[in-house]
Amino acid sequence: MLSDNGKRLPETDASGLNFEATELTLGLPGESRVTLDGGARLGSKRGFSETVDLSLGDNIDTNKLGRSQIDAQEAAKSPVSKAQVVGWPPVRGHAKRGKKSCKFVKVAVDGAPYLRKVDLQTYNSYQQLLTSLEDMFSCFTIRNYWNEKKMDQANGIEYVPTYEDKDGDWMLIGDVPWQMFVESCKRLRLMKSTEAVGLGAEAK
């Protein structure tokens, strides 16, 4: 079973469905995916022995990363919203090497005469993105199933946020972890609720 980016993920169950890959988690860069605790501690022993496929015997401390703190502030600041272990990898923070991180995608709204563009890297979560879109297209109300209060039927038209992914398919926003979404999203479309039939997101 291969994940989005073609990497083989070790956590698969018998049926080959890779649930854990889509679980909302924060983890070390790379293959290990560990559930985030309430505090900022990196995961549990169990998480590591699942993901780090070793046959080294009992004296390896698979919890060696247990006390390492995720710098939550750092994760919030950085445009890449993966949680990072502080100070790893050991590159100088000020060295601005590599790609300038930005990912601009077009945003289309059904019925609007022109499109907008947003840089997905400037957001760390779906909530931030949707809030920003609502500001941009302030006359529309975006259906957002995390916050039912935003649904304002008195205003009439309601929109469902969707996106086109790498495979060319139109998907409902919110199903996959944020970073996975950022990587696979090609463009956004705010679809009229009445047209969003069969996606399970219609007004009830």
Partner 1 sequence: MFWGSRKTINMNYFPDEVLEHVFDFIRSHKDRNSVSLVCKSWYKIEKYSRQKVFLGNCYSIGPERLIARFPGLKSLTLKGKPHFADFNLVPDDWGGFLYPWIKAMAKSRIGLEELKLKRMVVSDKSLELLSKSFPNFKSLVLVSCEGFTTDGLAAIASNCRFLKELDLQENEVEDHRGHWLSCFPESCTSLASLNFACLKGEINLASLERLVARSPNLKSLRLNRAVPFDTLQRLLIRAPQLVDLGTGSYVHDPSSEAYNKFKAAIQSCKSIRSLSGFLEVAPCCMSAIYPICENLTFLNLSYAAGLQSNELTKLIQHCKRLQRLWILDCIGDKGLGVVASTCNELQELRVFPSDPFDAGNAAVTEEGLVLVSEGCPKLNSLLYFCQQMTNAALITVAKNCTNFIRFRLCILNPIKPDPVTNQPLDEGFGAIVRSCKGLKRLSLSGLLTDQVFYYIGMYAKKLEMLSVAFAGESDKGMLYVLNGCKKLRKLEIRDCPFGDAALLEGMGKYETMRSLWMSTCEVTLGACKMLAKKMPNLNVEIINETEQTDSNLDDSQKVDKMYLYRTLVGHREDAPEFVWLL
Per-residue binder mask for partner 1 (CB under 8 A), 12-41, x = binder? ----------------xxxxx---------
| Choice from 14, 38, 64, 148 touching partner 1 (CB under 8 A) | 64
Distance CA 132, CA 181 (A): 16
CB of 71 to partner 1, least distance (A): 8
Helix (H) or strand (E) holding 182: helix 178-184
At residue 8, what are phi and psi to the nearest 5 degrees?
-80, 125
Which of the residues 41 through 60 are near partner 1 (CB under 8 A)? 52-56, 59-60
Nearer to partner 1, 93 or 200 (CB): 93
Backbone angles phi, psi at 159, to 5 degrees: -120, 150
Long-range contacts (CB closer than 8 Å, 24 or more residues apart) made by 139-145: 140/109, 140/190, 142/190, 143/193, 143/201, 143/203, 145/174, 145/201
Nearer to partner 1, 35 or 68 (CB): 68
Rule CB under 8 A: choose which of 18, 68, 122, 127 binds partner 1.
68
Residues 78-117 that bind partner 1 (CB under 8 A): 78, 80, 82, 84-100
| Element spanning 76, H or E | helix 72-77
- The answer to the question of residue 76 lying near partner 1 (CB under 8 A) is no
CB-nearer residue toward partner 1: 68 or 184: 68
Locus of tokens 């500001």: 135
Do residues 48 and 33 make contact, with C-beta atoms less than 8 angstroms apart?
A: no
Interface positions with partner 1 (CB under 8 A) = 5, 7, 28-32, 52-56, 59-61, 64-65, 67-69, 71, 74, 78, 80, 82, 84-100
